[in-house]
């Protein structure tokens, strides 16, 4: 694998991390769910022990959120490690601002990425909160 190949994979995976925050905050849950592989697993930061399995279940979980819930995700310190031409892992920090919350909530994600027929996707996204509000 060339350095250029590695950088392209890193960029594609880091873009997924950023898109997740944007689509979540914009309530564009169809686009958000499309960031995940069909059989992906999501562990939300607020419920890290409750896996959500599969793209359709992930979409349903987000779509069930109250329309009044307003969020703003700040995603930083994105580190991507390329395992091979079709797999990568990553980690990133988040700062969640939410309407009505007393203070910003810091957390992090650990991700596994996979190359699919339609491009790079999350295979697994595990979130945790650093401090409980």
* 29: nearest Cα among 52, 63, 53: 63
Q: Is 42 exposed, middle or buried (0-12, 13-18, 19+ CB in 10 A)?
A: buried
**102-116: pLDDT as tens digits:** 678 899 999 999 999
What pLDDT is stored for residue 105 in this prediction? 87
What pLDDT is stored for residue 56 in this prediction? 97
Task: Please determine, for residue 101, whether its predicted confidence score (pLDDT) is greater than 80.
Answer: no
Looking only at the bridges linking them, the beta strands covering 119-129 and 71-84 are: unpaired
For residues 64-78, give the mean pLDDT.
Answer: 90
**41-69: pLDDT as tens digits:** 999 998 999 999 999 999 999 999 888 88
For residues 10-36, give the mean pLDDT.
Answer: 97
């Amino acid at each position: 694998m060339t350095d250029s190949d590695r950088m392209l994979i890193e960029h594609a995976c880091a873009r997924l991390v950023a898109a997740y925050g944007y689509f979540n905050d914009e309530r564009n849950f169809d686009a958000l769910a499309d960031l995940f592989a069909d059989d992906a697993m999501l562990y939300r930061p607020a419920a890290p022990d409750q896996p959500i399995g599969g793209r359709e279940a992930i979409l349903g979980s987000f779509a069930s959120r109250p329309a009044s819930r307003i969020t703003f995700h700040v995603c930083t310190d994105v580190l991507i490690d390329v395992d091979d031409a079709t797999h990568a892992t990553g980690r990133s920090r988040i700062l969640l601002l939410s309407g009505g919350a007393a203070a910003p909530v810091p957390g992090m994600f650990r991700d596994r990425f996979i190359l699919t027929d339609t491009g790079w996707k999350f295979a697994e996204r595990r979130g945790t909160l650093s401090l409980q509000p």
